[in-house]
Amino acid sequence: MTAPDYGHVFSALRNSCPDEWAAYTQHSFVTGLGDGTLPRPAFLHYLVQDYVFLIHFARAWSLGVVKAETLDEMKVCAGTVDALVNHEMALHVETCAAVGIDEAALFGAKEEVANLAYTRYVIDAGLQGDFLDLIAALAPCCFGYGEIGLRLAREAAADTPYADWITTYADSDYQDVMVAVGKMFDAAVERRLGADYQNSARWEQLQTRFTTATELEIGFWDMGLNPA
């Protein structure tokens, strides 16, 4: 499997920014997770920031419940909030606890600017725009980690110390949520813009949201590589 099926809307958005998508999903931080060469301090620095990221990211997905137009959209958004706060964050809490960083320290960690820029951009996309603006800005995070997790599960060195991280995103728990998000995103776009959505007046704006969020993901890996 080269890429999992997260739907045709996601494929169209990704295929329109191939350079940014490659810079995000094949970033040297990702290579280092796979071959195990990522320095531990960079990983822990990233993981603490990512805990804070997920707090605000869950707020953004909660906004999806507010902006939804169908019960199915509400269910997928609520399910994603659950997956983030009750499952994905366990990786962060357990990995950090093992090196003496407790949850209060995680919750109170100083948020770096690249982190803050990313989540507030996504939340603002949802506040200023509609449900599609919000999902277009949320999509790179979700599907990018899904792609990375599956690729590293196939290609990673057997002895990488980052196997727990890889498993979190390759696991069917995470993948099933992403497939559900992809289906919901396809239906949401077709419902509002029609089957010929790529020729609608809204498409360019959604592409900009998606590409900008992808660039903010690249900035997040860059931040991870540079522990303060």
Ligand X SMILES: Cc1ncc(CO)c(N)n1
Would you count residue 141 as binding ligand X (CB under 6 A)?
yes
Residue nearest to ligand X (CB): 141
Nearest CA among 41, 37, 20 for reference residue 29? 37
Contact between residue 180 and residue 76 where contact means Cβ atoms under 8 Å apart: yes
Binding mask 143-182 for ligand X (x = CB under 6 A): --x-------------------------------------
End-to-end CA distance of the chain: 38
* Separation of alpha carbons 223 and 117, rounded Å: 12
Closest to ligand X by CB, 10 vs 220, is 220
Binding mask 76-115 for ligand X (x = CB under 6 A): ------------x---------------------------
DSSP 8-class letter at 69 = S
**Active-site choice (20, 112, 147, 217):** 217
| Minimum CB–partner distance for residue 145 and ligand X (Å) | 4
Nearest CA among 132, 4, 106, 114 for reference residue 48? 106
By CB under 6 A, the residues from 38 to 77 that bind ligand X are 50, 53-54
H or E stretch at 196: none
**Active-site choice (77, 96, 141, 142):** 141
Closest to ligand X by CB, 58 vs 193, is 58
By CB under 6 A, the residues from 198 to 217 that bind ligand X are 217
Closest to ligand X by CB, 25 vs 197, is 25
| Minimum CB–partner distance for residue 221 and ligand X (Å) | 8
DSSP annotation string for 151-175: HHHHHS-TT-TTHHHHHHHHSHHHH
Question: Which residue in the block uniquely carries the two structure tokens 């320290």?
Answer: 105
Cα distances from 59 to residues 55, 62, 132, 141, 169, in angstroms, run 7, 5, 16, 14, 20
Residue 103 annotated in active site = no
Would you count residue 135 as binding ligand X (CB under 6 A)?
no
7: left (phi over 0), alpha (psi -120 to 50) or beta: left
Residue 217 annotated in active site = yes
Residue numbers annotated as active site: 141, 217
Query: Which residues in this chain contact ligand X in the complex, by CB under 6 A?
Result: 50, 53-54, 88, 141, 145, 217, 220
